[in-house]
Amino acid sequence: MTRARMFPRMAVALLAAAGAVGAQAAVMQYAGTLGGARVTVQIEVENQVAAGLYFYDRYRTPIGFKPTMQRNGPRMLDEVDAGGLPTARLRFDQHDFFASTRALTGTWTDYRSRRQLPFRLDLAAYSDWQATVAGAPFAILQLASTERFYFRVPGDEGAPVARIEVLAKADGALVQTLVLPAPTCNRGMRTVEVAVEQARTVLRLPESARCPGAVFALDPRGGRFERLSP
């Protein structure tokens, strides 16, 4: 399904003009193993800069990768902690993150202990500004999460965002779909922000001149998000 069919053309044009991240980017999602643990990995590449996230399937808490300029030679990504400090490195045997590369292999190295583990990742889904292949429908995993939930943005990379999926970390089940009052800009894995405000867990889509915002708060009694604005 093309973006023109998913949203009115005028909305697409306005949001593209606003500089939404991913207008000509690519997102790859992989399923595989790191050591003996099952993992899910998402890599975003835009203007030769790779970033992304991964999580252990047992916990489903996203861990970010430091944005890295991709040069000739094997690819490398640094895993970072909540403060943005590198904690481990993934060194890939491959020289690219293209859809034609169906599997990635390499070595994970912990910076502190120097412990090393092998990894293998198989391509599960791929989306860029031209096409979506392997695995449909496509949904972009979000870096932000809460203690109980993680989030996805359904739709092709670069397409305006109309809804947010809330999933349980415990089992990966879809708990809730948040429908936005108006389509907003796609910022890739950073479309959603999470914060604690006035003792409430708040999910926010930032507002800008041409990107409508939205704010949802978690009801601790029912365990569901409710829209606060606009």
The predicted-structure confidence for 212-224, as pLDDT tens digits, reads as follows: 999 999 999 889 9
Residues 6+ apart with CB under 8 A from 66: 51, 77, 78, 79, 80, 84, 86
Say how far apart CA 213 and CA 164 lie, in whole Å: 13
- For the chain, the straight-line distance linking the first and the last C-alpha, in angstroms and rounded, comes to 29
> Residue 138 has what pLDDT?
82
> Residue 1 has what pLDDT?
39
> Residue 96 has what pLDDT?
85
Among 81, 104, 127, give the residue marking a domain's end: 127
Report the pLDDT averaged over residues 153-167.
86
Q: Is 76 exposed, middle or buried (0-12, 13-18, 19+ CB in 10 A)?
A: middle
Give phi and psi for 225, each to the nearest 5.
-90, 140
- Same domain for 155 and 219? yes
Name the pLDDT band for 41 (thresholds 50, 70, 90).
very high
> Residue 157 has what pLDDT?
59
Percent of the chain with pLDDT over 70: 83
pLDDT surpassing 50 at residue 161: yes
- Same domain for 35 and 122? yes
9 in a structural domain: no
- Same domain for 181 and 221? yes
> Residue 168 has what pLDDT?
98
- Same domain for 79 and 165? no
Higher pLDDT, residue 82 or 134: 82
- Same domain for 107 and 142? no
Among 127, 155, 187, give the residue marking a domain's end: 127
> Residue 13 has what pLDDT?
39
- Same domain for 104 and 39? yes
Number of folded domains in the chain? 2
132 in a structural domain: no
- Same domain for 190 and 118? no
- Same domain for 149 and 222? yes
- Same domain for 35 and 123? yes
pLDDT surpassing 60 at residue 140: yes
> Residue 185 has what pLDDT?
93
- Same domain for 121 and 30? yes
Instruction: Summarize pLDDT for 59-88 with one digit per residue, the tens.
Output: 999 999 999 998 877 899 999 999 999 999
Among 107, 127, 147, give the residue marking a domain's end: 127
- Same domain for 86 and 151? no
pLDDT surpassing 70 at residue 158: no
> Residue 92 has what pLDDT?
97
- Same domain for 123 and 151? no
User: Nearest CA to 207 among 227, 226, 182, 178?
Assistant: 182
What is this structure's pTM?
A: 0.86
Percent of the chain with pLDDT over 90: 69
pLDDT surpassing 70 at residue 34: yes
Helix, strand or coil, per DSSP, at residue 56 = strand
Q: Which domain holds residue 203?
A: 137-229
Report the pLDDT averaged over residues 105-115.
98
4 in a structural domain: no
